[in-house]
Structure 1
């Protein structure tokens, strides 16, 4: 999640745990602790793919944060004594640190909560920025600065409201999963890998990606749709044209669970993460090989490719789609890709 959300979450957690000892200093410390795990973005691993894959790694692991919180509380108590007992202080510090990766695990990016184990957890029920989750935390933390005697209670209310919304996001995801499963059953895509994620800033409009060899099918569905039917659009996924794959590409494939789009653009071979983004706005795209003048492919460190800017005309279209206007689905794809909706007989089967 974004830094404002993590700071507000850390402050609210600190205020609630502090109880009657809640103060502006406690809230400020909680906000700082809440953003601390994301300082790993300052670490450069040598290339953009490694930076992407290794973000939310060791700094988001409960196996690291638990002993680190103990050490931090010990140093804090030693050099700046507080009104808290050591165990109370340790609990406060640990809670502020660990709620950060716990919240991150509900996004699509993936969080290595169990690092050094390789498992990455991504519930994918909430977008990385969602004001409906963040606003109650911010409002109640600010209110606790004005009414200090009720600080802990106000922080608790903020956490309760945001947690209810987070719970709703999981329920909404389950509803969309059932909708997708019901539509794909009995079609050629029934057993294919499916990725589902909310579109930016909400948990009402959802994006679905289904892998199908060198094709992927993309659709949008809103919980406000009168008709639960999803209009899937077929898009080229491509395939890696060379016999060997560079190690960084294998890293990206593992990180994305193979939700990758391959492209041969002029003299470059690129791969794009299909999970993060919406429609044709996919921000994580990388160049892995380039052809020299002798038409031989040369591999080097991957290079990040600048993503296209969001077209202003698509913003109101997304809003209308969220409200249940299914007639504009095709307008949200790139003009050159829209005709592929009927690219094969399979399209007719999936479209119903």
Structure 2
């Protein structure tokens, strides 16, 4: 999630557990501690694929963060015994506060689509529950209001209850997001089943700044995928387009270790495109149809026409580009299924090819 959300979540948690002891300072301490896992962004890697896939790694591991929480709790407890013996800083209470603040950061990240290595150094595919968009005001605002209220009135019974209620509401919202994701996947699966289309994997992710409108991907055994749009309020089958993963191009990079790492990190939700003399690999999970957030040039044509792997670079035009016109259409689509989103137009504009013939 975004930095503001992680900070207010940390503030709310530490305020709830230690607010009666630390007062308003608990909000500051919690906001700072809750931002610690993202300090890995200061590490610079040699290429953008490594930069992407090593982020949310060791610094987001529940094993590392549990050890850090225990160390911090012990240090503060030792200091408190000497300087503030009457404050009530028990080791257990300190550990609970620090552990909750630290561990909920990667847990919340795992509810987005990016991918979080909760169990580093174990080689599991990064967790990506895709229940909320990376910036979602409906999740953040209740926590922010509760933190501001507690900072304003000071710590008393009402402030702690307000923080606890905000934490309860935000957690429930994550649960609703998971339910929405599963419902969106089921709607597309039902639509494909009705047309006799066999699928191997189905994956939904929320579109910009909400958990009501979903982009749903479905792979087919023949190397294609369907990309559909589904809203919580839909009554008819979702609009969709059929596109190729271009797996023949992937075979040209079969020995490239960074491609294998990217496949692992994204759970192999990748498509491959030849653009001129460049081989471009796109992460299908993030962005809007045809306009994917992470695209990398990973090979070029050699003198004899063969593909030559190279150090990956960010493909021109990559990155989040939610222009105003697209956002207006996306927000209108939440509540009305007609007109459908212009999937083929967006795809043709960004990828240079439109929808394949098919349903």
Verify same fold: TM over 0.5.
yes
Which residue pairs with 1:10 in the alignment?
A: 10
Kindly indicate whether residue 209 of structure 2 is the aligned counterpart of residue 201 of structure 1: yes
CA contact (8 A) 2:37 2:60 kept: yes
Deviates more, 1:198-207 or 1:22-31: 22-31
- Cα deviation for residue 286 of structure 1 reads 0.7
Structure 2, gaps ≥5 residues long: none
> 2: CA distance between counterparts of 1:133 and 1:160?
11
Distance change in 2, residues 1:249/1:48 (3 Å): same
Which residue pairs with 1:57 in the alignment?
A: 57
Distance change in 2, residues 1:335/1:62 (3 Å): closer
- In the superposition, the TM-score normalised over structure 2's length comes to 0.89
Match of 2:288 among 275, 278, 290: 278
Deviates more, 1:276-285 or 1:173-182: 173-182
Distance change in 2, residues 1:208/1:333 (3 Å): farther
SS at match of 1:313: helix
Which residue pairs with 1:96 in the alignment?
A: 101
Kindly indicate whether residue 266 of structure 2 is the aligned counterpart of residue 256 of structure 1: yes
Which residue pairs with 1:45 in the alignment?
A: 45
Number of residue pairs matched?
Answer: 344
- Cα deviation for residue 188 of structure 1 reads 5.1
Deviates more, 1:177-186 or 1:330-339: 330-339
- Cα deviation for residue 11 of structure 1 reads 0.3
SS at match of 2:285: coil
- Cα deviation for residue 318 of structure 1 reads 0.9
- Cα deviation for residue 269 of structure 1 reads 1.0
SS at match of 1:252: helix
Equivalences for residues 1-352 of structure 1 within 5 A: 1-79=1-79, 81=83, 83=87, 84-119=89-124, 120-148=126-154, 149=156, 150-185=158-193, 187=195, 189-212=197-220, 213-227=222-236, 229-241=237-249, 242=252, 244-293=254-303, 295-306=305-316, 307=318, 309-330=321-342, 333-334=345-346, 336=348, 340-341=354-355, 343-344=356-357, 347-348=358-359
> 2: CA distance between counterparts of 1:92 and 1:177?
37
> 2: CA distance between counterparts of 1:237 and 1:97?
38
- Cα deviation for residue 180 of structure 1 reads 2.3
> 2: CA distance between counterparts of 1:222 and 1:18?
41
Distance change in 2, residues 1:332/1:239 (3 Å): closer
> 2: CA distance between counterparts of 1:22 and 1:243?
56
Distance change in 2, residues 1:237/1:133 (3 Å): same
> 1: CA distance between counterparts of 2:48 and 2:171?
33
Instruction: Summarize deviations over 1:145-173 as a string: whole Å, max 9, x none.
Output: 11112332221121112112112111212
> 1: CA distance between counterparts of 2:295 and 2:35?
27
Structure 1, gaps ≥5 residues long: none
Task: Give 4+ residue runs of structure 1 displaced > 4 Å after superposition.
Answer: 79-82, 337-341
- In the superposition, the TM-score normalised over structure 1's length comes to 0.90
